[in-house]
Amino acid sequence: MVFPDKLKRLFIQAYLLERFSTEEDVLNVYQRVCETLGRPYAREDLSSFISNMNQTLDTVDMELRKGHAPQDGTTYYALVNTNGDEVAQMATECTPTEITYFKHLIEIIVHADDDVYELSSTVALSEATRIKPAMTKRDAEAFIDRMIKNKWLVDRDGLISMSLRTILELQTYLKDQYPDRIHECTLCMEIVTTDYERCNVANCQTRLHSHCSRQYFSRRNQNVCPSCQSEWRGILLGTGEHRTGNTGRRTSRRVSASQSTLSLQCDEEEEQEDDENVDMNGTANDSPDDMVVDRPLRRTRDRDAIPTSAGSSRKRPRRPL
């Protein structure tokens, strides 16, 4: 199908206001633009329109990238830069100090204990005074509030994690920067950080989004790992659930036996490096800030605006959608 340049231009002008939205919202924009130009609108044309749109956007190093909320599988699109330092591209909405702070938070989230990819809001605020130049806790709190509102970060009961928007927009940065810490869902190949299950078998690297796992196992009589074929006993991670000792900071303790038997050599080495980094950053593990009880950062949070937190369940999902 041929999509005229005028249609693509109007669409992208309208979508620039959003930059990150559900597929339904993208469809609404597409429908409005079709109607404006007197073109027939068909819902099923969207994927070919997006792929045609992306050929045009590619010439200016941009892309409409598709992803799915890990908990319920809702489809989202983000308008992303495909070139250069993607974090620096956030400069339009962040100061250089805020970008440094954001990168620092991502670093800690990515190295969180037991692959939960979460950081307590208390630790996040205390880290603001450790970057150079330092931020005040008040500025840091306002910044984190803004990042939650703009859907870069998610705050669930005082545990901060990366949103789907961040994962889509900073995909290349995350993979380049943390090749040993960023993993993909075995089924959909999208990055896993929140609401996912990890195979409990030693040496099996299988990770499945909650949504993907639910869909996959609902179509099968036997629950076996799609990689190692052992009986699936997925360890549910990144749920925003507080766990004993989870401060969001890498510590020297090993993962507990109940969590995993994944005590690989590479984990040992990685952990040593992480501890060195922590020391170099002047973030000693025995900071008094760690003793403060975690609390929600935002007291008037709109949960519905945060895609990865919607419909969070504490139980291991096994029912069909």
Interface with Zn ion by CB under 5 A: which residues?
185, 187-188, 199, 201, 204, 206, 209, 212, 225, 227-228
Considering the complex, state which of residue 87 and residue 225 has its C-beta at the smaller distance from Zn ion: 225
- Residue 216 CB, shortest distance to Zn ion, in Å, is 9
- Ranked by CB distance to Zn ion, the top (closest) residue is 185
Q: What angle do CA 276, 281, 287 make, to 5 degrees?
A: 95
DSSP 271-315: HHHHHHHHHHTT--TT-GGGGSPP--S-SS--GGG-GGGTT--SS
Residues 84, 288: Cα–Cα separation, whole Å: 38
Query: Under a CB-based contact definition with an 8 Å cutoff, are residues 37 and 6 in contact?
Result: yes
Smallest distance from Zn ion to CB 293, Å = 34
Confirm if 262 and 254 have CB atoms less than 8 A apart. no
The DSSP string of 197-233 is EE--STT---EEEHHHHHHHHHT-SS-B-TTT-SBP-
CB of 320 to Zn ion, least distance (A): 16
State the minimum distance, in angstroms, from the CB of residue 154 to Zn ion: 17
Residue in the block written with tokens 């206001």 = 17
Q: Which residues of 102-111 are buried (b: 16+ CB within 10 A; e: fewer)?
A: bbbbbbbbbb
Look-up of token digits 């109940």: 258
Strands 196-198 and 207-209, how do they pair? antiparallel
Residues in the chain: 321
Assess contact for 92 and 107: CB atoms under 8 A. no
For Zn ion, the closer of residues 223 and 272 by Cβ is 223
Alpha-carbon distance of 158 to 119, in angstroms, equals: 8
**Alpha-carbon distances, residue 22 vs 156, 190, 220 (angstroms):** 20, 17, 29
Q: Report the nearest approach of Zn ion to the CB of residue 217 (Å).
A: 13
Place of tokens 């993962």: 255
- Shortest Cβ distance from residue 67 to Zn ion (Å)? 10
Query: Quick one: 9 or 220, whose CB is closer to Zn ion?
Result: 220
Between 72 and 274, CB nearer to Zn ion: 72
Least CB distance to Zn ion at residue 110 (A): 18
Taking the complex as a whole, how short is the minimal distance between the CB of residue 141 and Zn ion, in angstroms? 33
* Pick 79 or 167: Cβ nearer Zn ion: 167
Residue 33, SS3 per DSSP: helix
Taking the least distance from each CB to Zn ion, the nearer of 74 and 206 is 206
Closest distance to Zn ion from the beta carbon of 3 (Å):
30
- Considering beta carbons, is residue 72 or 114 the nearer one to Zn ion? 72
What token pair was written down for 116?
A: 């939960």
